[in-house]
């Protein structure tokens, strides 16, 4: 019989390279939100991937980006701290990028420092001709001695099982740290906040999304008069300006209604239960530079 392997793996990559998409695809559940915008993931998000002969505890991290706020600094610190704490690093590169970006140079430096087995994953190959993939492999081979280089499409779930097989080769023999039905360290409250933020990111124009955060104040289990259980959730979307508040609420409350409806539908799928969601919008100027908020809400604990 094959030996059971287990251990810790961290994803790292430039913002928008597809880390969260890959994580969700490997776990088979929505653990981490994904959008076409940059700087989507803000904290380390743990997921548990169970396979016949292994249990992989994989952490999604905020994407490396250029940013000057306290929030950005904490996000980038989180990503680099995580790669120091794992058995294996998964470095995700967006294959559609023209060359090795500054962010990827910086990540390569951190990988060299970490001296850990590192798998390079070239993502979004569904958008690439074969020659381009081969060229990228050559380019990155010259940058670092990767344990392996795997081209995948996280979106189409193509080539992703190879990543698991390569990780299994690296991980030590070990126990199951988590029960089979556990698949994330995210609480239902966290998931609710993130899903609301995802819908806001997707529906709102460029400048607003990065200036928002969501807080769930109430998360209660209730019953209908017929005895059917449902969750009653109350949440606030914080933004940085009065004018943004107007846009998030929209004419006659229409935008907020759309955000809430899509968020509720997702939550009902994720929680497998009816949800009653109420949302508010409030202004908190320059919150991403307020230590009281970013430390408490986003700093790695």
Instruction: Give the interface with Mg ion as residue ranges (CB under 5 A).
Output: 19-20, 40-41
User: Which one, 64 or 233, has the nearer CB to Mg ion?
Assistant: 64
User: Which one, 38 or 174, has the nearer CB to ligand GTP?
Assistant: 38
Find which of Mg ion, ligand GTP, none residue 154 binds, CB within 5 to 8 Å per kind: ligand GTP
Binding-residue total with ligand GTP (CB under 6 A): 24
Rule CB under 6 A: say whether 34 interacts with ligand GTP: yes
Find which of Mg ion, ligand GTP, none residue 54 binds, CB within 5 to 8 Å per kind: none
Residue whose C-alpha is closest to residue 212's, from 184, 248, 188, 159: 248
| Residue 126 to residue 194: CA distance in whole angstroms | 27
Length of the chain: 301
Question: Which range, of 9-17, 136-144, 181-189, 262-270, touches ligand GTP by CB under 6 A?
Answer: 9-17
| Residue 17 to residue 154: CA distance in whole angstroms | 10
| Residue 125 to residue 156: CA distance in whole angstroms | 10
User: Which one, 129 or 175, has the nearer CB to ligand GTP?
Assistant: 129
Determine which residue in the list 6, 10, 15, 55 makes contact with ligand GTP, applying CB under 6 A: 15
Residue whose C-alpha is closest to residue 11's, from 52, 57, 54, 50: 57
Rule CB under 6 A: say whether 18 interacts with ligand GTP: yes
User: Which one, 41 or 160, has the nearer CB to Mg ion?
Assistant: 41
Rule CB under 6 A: say whether 10 interacts with ligand GTP: no
Rule CB under 6 A: say whether 16 interacts with ligand GTP: yes
- Map the footprint of ligand GTP across residues 119-138, applying CB under 6 A: 123-124, 126-127
Rule CB under 6 A: say whether 63 interacts with ligand GTP: yes
Instruction: Tell me the β-bridge partners of 275.
Output: 231
What are the DSSP calls for 18-65, one per residue? SHHHHHHHHHTS--S---SSSS---S-EEEEEEETTEEEEEEE-PPB-
Determine which residue in the list 7, 9, 19, 46 makes contact with ligand GTP, applying CB under 6 A: 19
User: Which one, 62 or 117, has the nearer CB to ligand GTP?
Assistant: 62
Rule CB under 6 A: say whether 244 interacts with ligand GTP: no
| Residue 275 to residue 260: CA distance in whole angstroms | 11
| Residue 231 to residue 212: CA distance in whole angstroms | 24
- Whether residue 160 contacts residue 22, with contact meaning beta carbons closer than 8 Å, is answered with yes
Residue whose C-alpha is closest to residue 9's, from 50, 46, 51, 39: 46
Residues with Cβ within 8 Å of residue 254, at least 6 apart in sequence: none
Provide, rounded to whole angstroms, the least separation between the CB of residue 13 and ligand GTP.
6
Provide, rounded to whole angstroms, the least separation between the CB of residue 83 and ligand GTP.
14
Determine which residue in the list 59, 78, 104, 153 makes contact with ligand GTP, applying CB under 6 A: 153
Residues at the interface with ligand GTP (CB under 6 A):
13, 15-21, 34-36, 38-41, 62-63, 123-124, 126-127, 153-155
């Amino acid at each position: 019989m094959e030996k059971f392997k287990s251990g810790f793996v961290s994803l790292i990559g430039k913002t928008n390279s597809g880390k969260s998409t890959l994580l969700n695809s490997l776990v088979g559940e929505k653990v981490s939100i994904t959008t076409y915008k940059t700087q989507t993931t803000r904290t380390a998000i743990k997921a548990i991937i169970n396979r016949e002969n292994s249990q992989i505890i994989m952490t999604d991290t905020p994407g490396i980006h250029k940013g000057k706020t306290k929030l950005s600094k904490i996000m980038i610190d989180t990503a680099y701290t995580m790669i120091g704490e794992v058995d294996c690093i998964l470095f995700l590169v967006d294959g559609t990028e023209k060359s090795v970006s500054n962010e990827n140079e910086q990540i390569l430096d951190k990988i060299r420092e970490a001296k850990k087995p590192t798998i390079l994953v070239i993502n979004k190959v569904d958008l690439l001709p074969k020659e381009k993939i081969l060229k990228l492999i050559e380019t990155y081979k010259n940058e670092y001695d990767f344990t392996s280089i795997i081209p995948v499409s996280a979106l189409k779930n193509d080539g992703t099982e190879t990543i698991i097989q390569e990780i299994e080769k690296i991980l030590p023999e070990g126990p199951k740290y988590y029960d089979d039905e556990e698949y994330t360290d995210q609480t239902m409250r966290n998931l609710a906040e993130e899903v609301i933020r995802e819908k806001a990111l997707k529906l709102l124009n460029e400048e607003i999304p990065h200036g928002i955060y969501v807080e769930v104040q109430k998360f209660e289990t209730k019953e209908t008069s017929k005895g059917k259980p449902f969750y009653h959730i109350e949440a606030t979307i914080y933004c940085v300006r009065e004018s943004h508040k107007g846009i998030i609420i929209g004419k006659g409350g229409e935008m907020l209604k759309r955000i809430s409806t899509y968020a509720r539908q997702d939550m009902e799928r994720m929680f497998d239960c009816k949800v009653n969601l109420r949302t508010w919008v409030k202004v908190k100027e320059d919150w991403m530079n307020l230590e009281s908020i970013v430390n408490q809400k986003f700093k790695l604990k």
